[in-house]
Chains A and B, each alone.
Chain A
């Protein structure tokens, strides 16, 4: 913004300016564009290599497949098959149930995550907690543990026979099965919460630091208690962060893979097509059905884009409605 305003006046000069000045201006613009290009190039290079090319390949693969006429024992050729793989994916009950599973997972996980990390951030911001720095570090630390290690730790805590937690409960005569039919999803939510709560808390905490102190002081002077200040003054002011966190959590949640993949070794309740990402993995690497896997990936991508778009539209409409009501 500032750059444009600074350079705007010379550009507005009348065309009768000397030719030399014109050249300098042109050179300056070229330099500016050059610098701009140089700075943006790494981003575009990465965008192309790690996003556009893979997506393009997936789209291509999803429309092509080996042609297996009859029983399929003859020689196969790769041909264009139209939407055959898409029809297969969308009529596959195991894929649809995977979508249902992540939808349920997101319904449990996102509210818990957003509310939990926001509450922690408000608590830290209110100054009630002593040793704020160490509390923050302690909460953030699990995020530094890679997802696969986290899943391994929890796998150990969840597996009957080796888990000290289950043993402890057993001593109190409580049988608990973390990997049972109805408990396995909450168990996965728990792992994700443990890993990401601290990170999102830091995001909220940073946003809260930016809330002008005079606003809060004014609220206090007006007689708002600490709870009221937190809920009715601070929270509305960090709305943008809440939306961002919810969005990122949603996108991550839809790609659920590591935790169930690892837990599936210990629980028959997690099958090889538990989530869409696991379905894709299974389709490609155990069923050798690459075009099916590609079609499922594209469907998942579109589903994710549609949901995030929906969330953005919904929140911006809420914003507008709120402004209108003021």
Chain B
């Protein structure tokens, strides 16, 4: 099979690295070591904006390793399917981009390599511990975080002023405010409960102390409807029933219109969304500000994350060391971040908090009236509740949950019912994969 490399031939190639020139003549697969001058060529797939700029900068400043970059569709738009299929066929790239919720799935499927021994102590010390915790299972690390996105509250400062509203600090205040907005401006709503927002709902539950998946006892314990989640579901159910929040898709034209027309006063999403908002709605410059996410208990503040990406070395990679070197440079070197930010406005929060000054310098805060959003992000990132674990089939779990949410918006079922349905629809999957599972449902 020309153009393909089996796992065994990759291993053989690794053993015969000095003869790389000869081996590469046999087949061009995931990566090829070209004999000239000992340059190692690795391949990199990503859907992230600015990746081309990062790769160009890397190639300019490095002689020994050269990266071939391929822009792929974002994960759920086909990027993950492409990666899985490539791994099956034995021609996955050396470095792949995986979002946090999908890391366990790709690790179980044998796409992401166990890189525990390759993540050096210097890099480990630089990374936010909560971020690295999300890619580490039973002490084994499967990918390196690029950014980690604490959930924050974006709000329309002009409309808050117009109606004389206070920025809510607790969820109780938030609920009260939702009713006030409904009363003062019947056409507007405080917030949107996204029917396509399983990941947002996960972040709310995470903040409240939920533990949807737990691996501490050597099996996947699944308890999506645990007490904190039930509390969160009941809270939002009340807001939905009282008709004080919108309920529709957030990735929709309807939601874009709600934001553009000032119908929705706050957005609850990851830090990255500040930059996305600037690109999507340039006309609303100066009208938005950012505040911390409301808390359940102000004395013990926590947040969950919404969004963020990681880089994995694939199991098929024949140059894992080179791949790791590229990843480390990409997540921790200021030049890499500058190159990424040169592609347009971004408000990502780096998983290496030491890079925040670079982000702050590059970010044009005028959209947010000069607010120092990075100081806020910095504080919020350190409130990320440690110990959250994403599930082995998170995309599928989220889809089943969202199906339930969509039905709720059509007047059928409840939010907690959707969460339970997601658990029921996940267990057969995990069992068919042969994983050890236990479940707690209440």
Instruction: Please give the residue numbers on chain A whose beta carbons come within 8 Å of chain B beta carbons, in ascending order.
Output: 65-73, 75-76, 81, 84-85, 87-89, 91-95, 161, 180-181, 268-269, 271-273, 282-283, 285-289, 291-292, 295
B109 lies within 8 A of chain A by Cβ: yes
CA distance in complex: A167, B326 (Å): 54
Name the residue on A nearest B410 (C-beta): A181
Q: Give 18 A-B contacts (CB < 8 Å), ordered by A residue.
A: A68-B433, A68-B435, A71-B219, A71-B436, A89-B432, A91-B428, A92-B425, A92-B429, A93-B425, A94-B400, A94-B424, A94-B425, A161-B253, A268-B403, A269-B407, A272-B399, A273-B400, A289-B433
Whether B410 contacts A180 by the Cβ 8 Å rule is: yes
Interface set, chain B 163-220, CB cutoff 8 A to A: 195-196, 215, 218-220
B142: nearest residue on chain A (CB-CB)? A73
- Sample of 14 more A-B contacts, CB < 8 Å, known A88-B428, A272-B396: A68-B434, A70-B218, A72-B220, A84-B432, A88-B432, A94-B400, A94-B425, A181-B407, A269-B410, A273-B425, A287-B395, A288-B84, A289-B429, A292-B429
Q: Determine if B403 and A271 form an interchain contact, defined as CB atoms under 8 angstroms apart.
A: yes
| B137, CB-defined interface residue at 8 Å | yes
* Interface positions of B from 141 to 155, Cβ below 8 Å from A: 142
A286 to B84, CA, bound (A): 9
Query: Do residues B81 and A286 form an inter-chain contact, with CB atoms below 8 A?
Result: yes
| B421 in the interface (beta carbon within 8 A) | yes
Asked if B249 lies at the interface with its beta carbon under 8 angstroms from chain A, I say yes
Chain B residues lying within 8 Å of A72, measured Cβ to Cβ, are: 108, 220, 392, 433-435
Q: Please, how many angstroms separate the alpha-carbon atoms of A75 and B249 in the complex?
A: 39
**Which residue from B196, B219, B406 sits with its C-beta under 8 Å from A269?**
B406
* A288 to B88 Cα, complex, angstroms: 10
Assess whether B238 is interfacial by the CB under 8 Å rule.
no
Q: Contact flags (1/0) for B409-432 with A, using CB distance below 8 Å?
A: 111100000000100110111011
Contacts of B107 in A (CB 8 A): 73
Shortest C-beta distance, A254 to chain B (Å), equals 21
Task: Determine the chain B residues whose CB is within 8 A of the CB of A69 once the complex forms.
Answer: 434, 436
Distance (whole angstroms) from the CB of B432 to the closest CB of chain A: 4
**A71 and B410 contact, CB distance less than 8 A:** no
Alpha-carbon distance A83/B73, docked complex (angstroms): 36
Which among A66, A72, A89 has the highest number of chain B CB atoms within 10 Å?
A: A72
Q: Is the CB of B429 within 8 A of A88?
A: yes
**CB-nearest residue of chain B relative to A160?**
B254
**A residues within 8 A CB of B410?**
180-181, 269
Give the shortest distance, in Å, between A270 (CB) and chain B (any CB): 9
Instruction: Report if B393 contacts A (CB, 8 A).
Output: yes
Decide if B428 touches A288 in the complex (CB within 8 Å). no
A286 touches B428 (CB 8 A): no
B432 contact set on A, CB distance < 8 A = 65, 84-85, 88-89, 289, 291-292, 295
A65 touches B434 (CB 8 A): yes
Determine if B110 is an interface residue (Cβ-Cβ < 8 Å): yes
Q: Which of A93, A180, A271, A292 contacts B399 (CB 8 A)?
A: A271
User: Does the CB pair A81–B434 fall under 8 Å?
Assistant: yes
Alpha-carbon separation in the docked complex, A89 to B140 (Å): 31
Interface assignment of B353: CB less than 8 Å from any CB of chain A: no
Q: Which residues of B contact A73 (CB under 8 A)?
A: 107-108, 114, 137-138, 140, 142
Q: Which residues of A contact B425 (CB under 8 A)?
A: 92-94, 273
Partner of A88, one of B142, B406, B411, B431: B431
Q: What residues of chain B have their CB less than 8 Å away from a CB belonging to chain A?
A: 80-81, 84, 105, 107-110, 114, 137-138, 140, 142, 195-196, 215, 218-220, 249, 253, 392-393, 395-396, 399-400, 402-403, 405-407, 409-412, 421, 424-425, 427-429, 431-436
Instruction: Known A93-B421, A181-B410, A289-B433; judge A76-B396 contact (CB<8 A).
Output: no
A181 to chain B: which residues have CB within 8 Å? Answer: 407, 410-412
CB distance from A25 to the nearest CB of B (A): 53
Could you tell me the distance in whole angstroms from the C-beta of A286 to the nearest C-beta in chain B?
6
| Inter-chain contact A71/B220, CB cutoff 8 Å | yes
Query: Which residues from A are CB-within-8-Å of B215?
Result: 71
B436 contacts which chain A residues (CB < 8 A)?
Answer: 69-71
Q: Which residues of B contact A287 (CB under 8 A)?
A: 393, 395-396, 429
Bound-complex Cα distance A143 to B392 (A): 43
Contacts of B109 in A (CB 8 A): 288
Cβ-defined partner of B108 (8 Å) among A68, A84, A89, A95: A68
Once bound together, how far apart are the Cα atoms of A161 and B114, in whole Å? 49
Known A-B contacts A268-B249, A268-B402, A285-B81; the reply to A65 vs B218 at CB < 8 A is no
- Shortest C-beta distance, A94 to chain B (Å), equals 4
What separation, in Å, do the CA atoms of A280 and B436 have in the docked complex?
Answer: 23
Set of chain A residues within 8 Å of B138, measured between Cβ atoms: 71, 73
Residues of A within 8 A of B411 (CB): 181
**Docked complex Cα distance between A92 and B138 (Å):** 29
**Closest A residue, CB atoms, query B422:** A94
Distance to closest chain B CB from A123 (angstroms): 39
A65 to B435 CA separation, bound complex (whole angstroms)? 11
Chain B nearest CB, measured from A235 CB (Å): 41
Whole-angstrom distance between the Cβ of A311 and the nearest chain B Cβ: 30
Q: How far is the CA of A269 from the CA of B248 in the complex (A)?
A: 12
Q: Which residues of B contact A291 (CB under 8 A)?
A: 432
Query: Is the beta-carbon distance between A65 and B433 smaller than 8 angstroms?
Result: yes
Q: Would you give the shortest CB distance from B110 to chain A, in whole angstroms?
A: 6
Q: Nearest Cβ distance between residue A57 and chain B, in whole angstroms? A: 15
Instruction: Contacts A72-B108, A268-B406, A269-B407 given; indicate if A89 touches B428 (C-beta within 8 A).
Output: yes
Distance between B101 CB and nearest chain A CB, rounded to angstroms: 13
Q: How far in angstroms is the closest Cβ of chain A from B339?
A: 33
Q: How far is the CA of A285 from the CA of B396 in the complex (A)?
A: 11
Q: How far is the CB of A106 from chain B (nearest CB, A)?
A: 22
Give the shortest distance, in Å, between B36 (CB) and chain A (any CB). 35
Tell which of A75, A273, A286 touches B395, judged by Cβ atoms closer than 8 Å. A286
